[in-house]
C-alpha cells in the first residue's frame, strides 16, 4: 500500500519503558519511542520521511536535491546525510546570515557536504523556486523536498511508523493511550494520524506545537488537515476528517520557534537525569515539557499508558549551550 523506499536508517526503533520516570508519576505508565536512534548522522524523525523522498529522487532521475529550514534544522542535516549516502548533490536554504563559526546542525550539514545558502528572514523555503530555476539553468535535474519534508510522501514515513509501533505493542502485549510528540511542519503528525486510522488503533495523539507561526497562507492545523484529506482519499479511509483531527496543542510555543526557556531546560534535565536519555532544546525538549505539564496537572486520564515519541535533535544542544548552562 505504501510506495517503495530507499533504506537509510535502523528500524524498528526501540520502544522502551521509562521505569524511573514512571516511579515519579505513579498514576501513569510512561514509555518512549526512540526515533533519536534512527541512525542517520545522529538520527531523528526525518530519516523516516527521507527514505521515501530519496527513492523518489532516484526514480525520477534527479541528481540534485534542495530543501529549506532554520540554521539548526535537523531536517536539513538529515537531508544532507541522506544525499551523501545516495550520491546526490544537496543544496540547503537556511534562514539567517552566515555565522562566523558553524555549530550544531549547521556544522554537521557543512561536514556532510551540503551547499549552504543563507536566506535572511526566509527560513521556510520561500526562496526554493528561485534556486531551483538557477540550478535547472545550469543543467541540474533538481528535486525539491518541501519545508520540513512535510508533504504526503514524507508523511508516509510516519504511516509506516505507526504500523511498526502496532507490531511492537502486539509483541509486548501493550495498549498505548496517548502519544506526545513535537509537531512543527506537520508531516509527522499527519502520518501518525493516518497510521492510527489505517491500522485501526485507539490512541489519542498529543501533538505539541513548536512553532506558533504557520507557513505560506495556512495555519499548521490547516496544513495538517490538507495532508489528512489527501491521505484519506489515497488510502480510501472511511473516516471523515475535520480540523479537530488536525489541531495542535498550543501554549508551549508562545515564546516562538527556537527560543529556549527554563521550561525546555527543565524537560531536558528531567529525562537526562532520570533515564540517561538526551532531548533537544527546540523540538523534543519543548514537547517533553508539554507532556510533563499534562502529567503534573492531571490533564490525562489516570492509570493510562503514555508514550513520548522522541523525534531526535541532539546536535542543537551544542548550539544552545549558553541557554542550557
Ligand atoms: C527533532 C524534531 N522533532 C520534531 C520535528 C517536527 O516534525 P514535523 O516537521 O514533521 O512536524 C522536527 C522538525 O524539524 C524535528 O527536527
Active site (annotated) includes residue 254: no
Model confidence at 6, pLDDT cuts 50, 70, 90, reads very high
Instruction: Compute, in angstroms, the gap from residue 139 CA to the centroid of ligand 1.
Output: 32
- pLDDT the model gives residue 214: 78
pTM of the model: 0.97
- pLDDT the model gives residue 121: 86
Are 177 and 31 found together in one domain?
Answer: yes
Cα–Cα dist 179/3, whole Å: 25
- Which of these three, 148, 169, 200, is where a domain ends? 148
The β-bridge relationship of strands 28-34 and 15-17 is: antiparallel
> Which residues lie across from 115 on neighbouring strands?
91
Out of 205, 313, 316, mutate this one to test ligand 1's pocket (max ligand atoms within 8 Å of CB): namely 313
Q: Give the model confidence (pLDDT) of 75-112 as tens digits.
A: 999 999 999 999 999 999 999 999 999 999 999 999 99
Are 38 and 160 found together in one domain?
Answer: yes
Are 92 and 231 found together in one domain?
Answer: no
Task: Tell me, yes or no, whether 154 lies in a domain.
Answer: yes
Closest ligand 1 atom number to CA of residue 184: 11
Ligand 1 interacting residues, C-beta cut-off 6 A: 44-45, 74-75, 148, 150, 182-189, 280, 283-284, 311-313
- The dihedral through the CA atoms of 28, 36, 181, 12 has a sign that is negative
Show the domain range for 98. 46-148
- Which of these three, 110, 132, 148, is where a domain ends? 148
- Which of these three, 107, 124, 148, is where a domain ends? 148
Task: Tell me, yes or no, whether 192 lies in a domain.
Answer: yes
Closest ligand 1 atom number to CA of residue 210: 6
Are 20 and 106 found together in one domain?
Answer: no
Of 73, 109, 183, 209, the catalytic one is 73
Q: Give the model confidence (pLDDT) of 205-215 as tens digits.
A: 999 999 998 77
Task: Tell me, yes or no, whether 70 lies in a domain.
Answer: yes
Sheet holding 15-17, edge to edge: 15-17, 28-34, 304-310, 178-183, 204-209
> For the domain that residue 232 is a member of, what is the CATH number?
3.40.50.1100
Are 108 and 29 found together in one domain?
Answer: no
Are 96 and 232 found together in one domain?
Answer: no
Amino acid at each position: 500500500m505504501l510506495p517503495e523506499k530507499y533504506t537509510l536508517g535502523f528500524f524498528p526503533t526501540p520502544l522502551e519503558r521509562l521505569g524511573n520516570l514512571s516511579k515519579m508519576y505513579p498514576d501513569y505508565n510512561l514509555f518512549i519511542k526512540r526515533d533519536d536512534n534512527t541512525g542517520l548522522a545522529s538520527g531523528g524523525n526525518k530519516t523516516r520521511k527521507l527514505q521515501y523522498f530519496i527513492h523518489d529522487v532516484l526514480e525520477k532521475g534527479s541528481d540534485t536535491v534542495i530543501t529549506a529550514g532554520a540554521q539548526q534544522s535537523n531536517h536539513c542535516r538529515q537531508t544532507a546525510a541522506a544525499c551523501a549516502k545516495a550520491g546526490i548533490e544537496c543544496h540547503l536554504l537556511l534562514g539567517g546570515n552566515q555565522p562566523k563559526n558553524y555549530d550544531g546542525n549547521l556544522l554537521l550539514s557543512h561536514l556532510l557536504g551540503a551547499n549552504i545558502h543563507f536566506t535572511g528572514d526566509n527560513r521556510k523555503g520561500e526562496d526554493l523556486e528561485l534556486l531551483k530555476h538557477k540550478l535547472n539553468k545550469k543543467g541540474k535535474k533538481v528535486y525539491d523536498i518541501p519545508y520540513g519534508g512535510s508533504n504526503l510522501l514524507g508523511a508516509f514515513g510516519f504511516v509506516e511508523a505507526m504500523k511498526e509501533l502496532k507490531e511492537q505493542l502486539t509483541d509486548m502485549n501493550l495498549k498505548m493511550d496517548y502519544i506526545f510528540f513535537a509537531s512543527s511542519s506537520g508531516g509527522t503528525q499527519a502520518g501518525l494520524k493516518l497510521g492510527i486510522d489505517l491500522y485501526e488503533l485507539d490512541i489519542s495523539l498529543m501533538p505539541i506545537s513548536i512553532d506558533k507561526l504557520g507557513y505560506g497562507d495556512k495555519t499548521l492545523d490547516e496544513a495538517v488537515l490538507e495532508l489528512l484529506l489527501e491521505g484519506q482519499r489515497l488510502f480510501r479511509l472511511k473516516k471523515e476528517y475535520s480540523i479537530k483531527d488536525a489541531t495542535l496543542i498550543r501554549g508551549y510555543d508562545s515564546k516562538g520557534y527556537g527560543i529556549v526557556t527554563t521550561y525546555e531546560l527543565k524537560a531536558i534535565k528531567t529525562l537526562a537525569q532520570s533515564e540517561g536519555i538526551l532531548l533537544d532544546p527546540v523540538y523534543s525538549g519543548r514537547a517533553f515539557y508539554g507532556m510533563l505539564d499534562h502529567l503534573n496537572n492531571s490533564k490525562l486520564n489516570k492509570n493510562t499508558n503514555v508514550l513520548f515519541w522522541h523525534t531526535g535533535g541532539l546536535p542543537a544542544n551544542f548550539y544552545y549551550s549558553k541557554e542550557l548552562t
